[in-house]
Amino acid sequence: MNKPDYELYYWPTIQGRGEFVRLLLEEAGAPYIDVARLPVSEGGGAPAIMKLLGGGDSLLPFAPPVLKHGELVLSQTSNILLYLAPRHGLVPLDEPGRLAANQLQLTLADLVDEAHDTHHPIASSLYYEDQKPEALRRSAAFTRLRVPKFLGYFERVLQNNGGVYLVGAALSYVDLSMFQVLAGLVYAFPKTMARVSPTVPGLTALSDKVASKPRIAAYLASSRRVPFGDAGIFRHYPELDVDVP
């Protein structure tokens, strides 16, 4: 059996930031191995990630996700996507198009960070219960102000690009990432998204289009897609889903 082209290193029990890379690889039909999902006895599990982070590579990764492609070792989600997308036809080929896609992906990364910080506004090393008062204040601002601002921006970008895709004339990795962000927000903040979604009909249609892509649909229905839960970036704490008009 041929060795997969890519090795992805990410925590095995959560979607997290690694899911953005998985979605690109799945849509591309690119052979890859999710290393930490292998048994520890086969070189997988969390020990595989810790070994990589403490290894001897000249450009040592700070945190997962990490992608290995031959001798190349890359970290940072947006950086990995920037590398993979042109190799699999999931970004415009011209430089302005590639830079525009990266700009949008970095803006999505800002949104993802803010979503994470609703339940961990003080420190990731603390439990949610240790920072709940601060989380309540942070989530109120996030649901009332930040979600509409971010999604409104992306809706305008979509409409300015013709209303079909966020960048270029075909599906790109940014569209895949937008699908993931919307899915996470709907899971974590259903009341908020019930209020905001009607104001961004183009993004909703784009998300549905991504979900219906044959390879993505097959992935979402498979055991490779870890469900949302009480860990990772998008977490549903009902008290944080502040439905403020």
Predicted TM-score (pTM) of the model is 0.94
| Residues near 143 by beta carbon (within 8 Å), at least 6 away in sequence | 189, 191, 192, 240, 241, 242, 243, 244
> Which pLDDT does position 110 carry in this prediction?
98
Q: Confidence class of residue 43 from pLDDT cuts 50, 70 and 90?
A: confident
Mark 162-172 as b/e (b = at least 16 C-beta within 10 Å). Answer: eebbbbbeebb
Residue type present at position 3? K
Q: What is the CA radius of gyration of the chain?
A: 18
Interval 27-55 mean pLDDT: 90
Helix, strand, coil % over all residues of the chain, rounded to 5: 60, 5, 35
pLDDT at 243 over 90: no
Structure confidence at residue 137 (pLDDT): 94
Judged against a pLDDT cut of 60, whether residue 168 lies above it is answered with yes
- What are the residue ranges of helices labelled H in 142-196? 147-160, 173-188, 190-196
pLDDT given at position 54: 81
The pLDDT value given to residue 244: 62
